Amino acid sequence: MKGKISPLFFALILAAGCSSLLTSSTPPQNYYQIEYDPSKVACAKSFGRAVKVWDFSTSSPYNRPEMVVFEADRRVLYSSAHQWVARPGTLVAESLLRDLDLGSLFPQAVGADSPVVAPLELSGRVLVFGWEKRGPQFKAVFQVEVTLTDTEDGGKLLFRRDYRFESKPFNENSASQFAQAMSGLIKDFSTNFRLDLCATLTGSHGDRRP
């Protein structure tokens, strides 16, 4: 994992017609979801209490659903024709909620809208969620920090870590390729995060790959 990249260093501009992902000045016509088959993570221990997964926070330029392209000169471009079905922070939280609910790390995982009072809370911040252009090639980049706290123990910090993932470079610049690549990165993040949670419980520090 590499160091953080703050979106505040980017010069934010609105653009259209700059690439095949940014081709139309009309309102968004295409919507994309994070889709993948989650990897199974078996853990010998459990936190033993329910967890509430809050929508992850975001800041500009990732606090809106439009797809984001950033270039080597740090220009940031919003797609005028392609957007996610929700803001990145919501997409990440929904993916984690589904994956945690399938495993045994917590007896129950609920979303922010659930009336269930959960003693453990999972939150985070999306730092990068974009399509990076470098010369003729493109790649998806995802960076996030995630925190697990115990509300029954005065907000005690149980886990905190930053993650950064990059896809392989592609010659094709398309919204569908971006969505597919970003889905793969979210899957990798979810898998590694759950393995790290298990390692926190078991005290193991081996290879985190599934």
Mean pLDDT in residue range 16-33? 62
Q: For the segment 150-161, what is each residue's pLDDT rounded down to a tens digit?
A: 999 999 999 999
Alpha carbon of 96 to those of 33, 174, 188: distances in Å?
Answer: 14, 26, 11
- Cα–Cα distance measured from residue 161 to residue 94, given in angstroms and rounded to the nearest whole number: 19
pLDDT of residue 16: 33
pTM (two decimals): 0.85
27 vs 75: which has the higher pLDDT: 75
- Cα–Cα distance measured from residue 8 to residue 16, given in angstroms and rounded to the nearest whole number: 21
- Cα–Cα distance measured from residue 117 to residue 125, given in angstroms and rounded to the nearest whole number: 22
Q: Is the confidence at residue 23, as pLDDT, over 80?
A: no
How high does pLDDT run on average in the chain?
A: 86
Phi, psi of 179 (to 5 degrees): -60, -40
18 vs 96: which has the higher pLDDT: 96
Q: In DSSP terms, which residues pair with 149 in a beta bridge?
A: 121, 157
207 band by pLDDT with thresholds 50, 70 and 90:
very low
108 band by pLDDT with thresholds 50, 70 and 90:
very high
Are 139 and 169 contacting, i.e. CB atoms less than 8 angstroms apart?
yes
pLDDT of residue 2: 37
pLDDT of residue 80: 82
Are 157 and 151 contacting, i.e. CB atoms less than 8 angstroms apart?
no
**Tokens 């907000």 belong to residue:** 155
pLDDT of residue 74: 76
Tokens of 25: 């000045």
**Tokens 């990798």 belong to residue:** 188
